[in-house]
Chains A and B, each alone.
Chain A
Amino acid sequence: MSIQRREFVAALGAGAVAGTAGCSAVGGSAGGDGGGSAGDGESGDESENGNEGESGPGVAGETLTLTTTTSTYDTGLLDAIHTGFEERFGVSVDAVPKGTGAALRTARDGDADVVMVHARGLEDEFLRDGYGVNRRDLMFNDFVIVGPESDPAGVQGMGSATEALTAVAEAEAAFVSRGDNSGTHTKELNLWEAAETEPGGGWYQETGSGMGEALNIASQQGAYTLSDRGTFVSQRSTVDLTVLVQGPIEDGPEILANPYGIMAVNPAVHEDANYDLAMAYIGWITSPDVQDAISEYRVDGEQLFFPRAVSEDPDFKQYVPEGWSSERDDADA
C-alpha cells in the first residue's frame, strides 16, 4: 500500500516537472524570439518565476550531477550550453569529467544522476544491469587516426581504419593508446579486434591518460594515435600531428563513428538519484533548440558535434541495448 502511494507521489512529481518543463519551454522560446543575449537572460528569469508560481516545489534550487567523458568536457561544449539549462530551471549542474568507464562506474555507485558517454557496448551493459533508464542518442562526431606528417607506416588516405592499423602494426611504427577504459580506448580495442591484430611490443604504448595528454605524447614521439575529432580540433594548433585516416564526417569509414548517448540513473536502484531533474535534463538536451545550439558550437571555426536526437523517423534502437528483442528475452526466460 505504501509503495503504491509512493508511486502516486512520484507520478505527481513527474507530472509537475513535465508541466513546468512545458511552461518554461514556451516561455523560453518566446524570449528566444526576441533574440540577443539580453533576451535570453530575461526568458531565464521568467521561467524561474513560472516554476515557483505555478507548480509549487519544482526542481528549482536542486543540483544535477552529470558524469561525462573528458572528450566532451574538454571541448568546452557543456560550459557553453549549460547556462541555458541552469537559467531555465533555476538549478545548477555539476559536470564531472571522467573516462567513459569511470563515468559509468560513478553512476553505478549512485553518485550521479545522469551520464553522457560514448561507448555503446559499455552503455548497453549499464542498461542490461538495470542501472540506466531512458537512453537517448544525443549527438555524434567521429574518430580520426592521426600521426606525424612523415607517416612512416604509409597510412595516409587509406579508406579502411582496420587496414591502417594493420599497416601501423606491420611497420611497428609507434602508436599511443589511451589505455584508460575510456570510450576512445574501447573504440581503439574494437578496431584492433576488427583488424585481427594483437597490438603489443615496444611500439605500442599505453599512456593511461586523457585524450589531450595522449595527443601531446604522440606529438612528442612522432607516434600514431586514435583521437576523437573534437579533442583533436581543439588541440590541433599545439601538436605536430595530422589527420591520416578520416572518420565518417569527412567520408571516412563508418567504423570510426563516435556516437554519444545519454541515460538517466535508474531511481529504482538508487533512490537518491535526482530522477526528475535528470529527465528534465535529457528532455532539454534532446530538444530542437539545444540540438541546434550543439550543432552551432564551434572551435577554431569547426563544428565538433552533430546532433542526433531530433529525427522524424522513430529510432527505437536508441532506447534498448543493441540486438535486444522482446521475443528473444521471452525465450531466455
Chain B
Amino acid sequence: MPIEPTVQLVPALLDSTPRLVPALLDVSFRDGYVGSVVAVSLYVSLTAVALSTLVSVPAAVAIGLAEFPGKGFVKSVVNTGMGFPSVVVGLVVLFAVSNQGPLGSLNLVFTREAMILSQFVLATPPITAITLAAVSGVDDGVRDAARVLGGTRVDVALVVIKEVRYGIATAVLAGFGRAVSEVGSVLIVGGNIASADGISKTRTLTTAIQLEARQGQYETALVLGAVLVALVLTVNAVVVHFGDSGVTR
C-alpha cells in the first residue's frame, strides 16, 4: 500500500515535466527572504562545523595515534554516532535548552545558538570518524620517521595531520553536508521562525523547504532545494580549491 503512491508519482512526474518547468520560473519570494534564509543556514552550519572541527580533529588524531585498551570500542561509539537520527538529537538538545532543562536559564530555545548546538552534536561524529579513519590509514613509517628524526609527540601529530589533510577536508565536508541538509533538529530547537516582513530568524533552507512542502507549494520548495544544492556545491568547491592550493605551496 505505501509503495503505490510512489509508483503513481513517477509517471506523473515525468508527464508533468513540461508543465513543471514554467511553474518553477513563476516562483517568487518576498524581498530579502531567500537571502536571509541562506544567511541563517550558512551561519548556523558553518559555525557548528567550525566548532566541531576544533574538537573532532584533535580528538581523532589523539585517538588514532594512541594505543589503549578499548580503542576499538571508542571507534564503534564514534561510528554509531554517525547514525544518530537528527530528530532525536533535536529532542535531546530541546530538553537541554528548554526552560525546564539544565541550560534553561540561558534562554536558548528557538535561537540560532541552540541550532548550532544541535548541529554541533550532529556534525561531530562524522568529522571524528572520517578523520580517525584517515589517521589510522597513515603508513606507520611516516610516524616512525618523524619520531626517529627527534620529533616530540606534537611534532608527530602535526606531521600526521599534514599527511591526512585531504582526509580532514573530506571529514569537514561530510560534517557540513550533514549539518546543512538536516531538517529534524533545527526545526525542533529553532522553531522555523521568520519575522512578519519575511526576514528569517531561525528559518534555514531545509525548514523553509519543509514549510513550503507542508503548504503544498512544491514548486517553491523545489526552487529552495536547488538553492541548497548550489550552496553545498559552492562550499565544496571552495574547500577543494584551498586543498589544491595547499599542494602547490
Contact = CB atoms under 8 A, between A and B. Distances in A.
Interface of A: 65, 70, 74, 78-83, 86, 92-97, 109-111, 202, 209-213, 215-217, 220-221, 234-235, 238-239, 270, 272
A315 B197 CA distance: 35
Given A96-B193, A110-B98, A111-B110, 8 more contacts: A78-B196, A94-B110, A95-B193, A95-B196, A97-B211, A202-B1, A212-B216, A220-B9
A239 B216 contact: yes
B191 interface: yes
8 contacts: A86-B196, A93-B195, A96-B191, A96-B193, A110-B99, A211-B214, A212-B214, A272-B104
Given A96-B193, A97-B192, A221-B5, A109 B201 contact: no
B100 to A, nearest CB: 5
A70 B214 contact: yes
Contacts of B214: 70, 74, 209-213
Contacts of A81: 196
B191 A110 contact: no
A94 B98 contact: no
A219 to B, nearest CB: 9
B149 to A, nearest CB: 57
A65 B110 contact: yes
B213 interface: yes
A74 B215 contact: yes
B184 to A, nearest CB: 14
B238 to A, nearest CB: 33
B5 A82 contact: no
A307 to B, nearest CB: 19
Contacts of B211: 97
A215 B213 CA distance: 11
B225 interface: no
Contact of B98 (A80, A111, A215): A111
A94 B216 CA distance: 23
B107 interface: yes
Interface of B: 1, 5, 8-9, 98-100, 104, 107, 109-110, 191-193, 195-198, 201, 211, 213-217
Nearest to A108: B100
A213 B216 contact: yes
Contact of B213 (A83, A213, A238): A213
Contacts of B196: 78-83, 86, 93, 95
A79 B99 CA distance: 26
Contacts of B197: 79, 83
A149 B196 CA distance: 37
Given A70-B214, A78-B196, A212-B214, A96 B98 contact: no
Given A212-B216, A213-B216, A96 B5 contact: no
A210 B212 CA distance: 11
Contact of B198 (A78, A79, A212): A79
A109 to B, nearest CB: 5
Contacts of A92: 195
Contact of A215 (B9, B99, B216): B216
B5 A220 contact: yes
A181 to B, nearest CB: 15
Contacts of A272: 99, 104, 107
Nearest first, the 3 closest Cβ-Cβ pairs linking A and B are A110-B99, A210-B214, A82-B196
A270 B9 CA distance: 48
Contacts of A65: 110
A220 B8 contact: yes
Contacts of B9: 220
A235 B195 CA distance: 23
Contacts of A97: 192, 211
A105 to B, nearest CB: 10
B192 A96 contact: yes
A245 to B, nearest CB: 22
Given A83-B197, A94-B193, A212-B214, A109 B100 contact: yes
Contacts of A234: 215
B194 to A, nearest CB: 8
B172 to A, nearest CB: 32
A83 B199 CA distance: 12
A235 B9 CA distance: 20
Given A96-B110, A238-B216, A270 B99 contact: yes
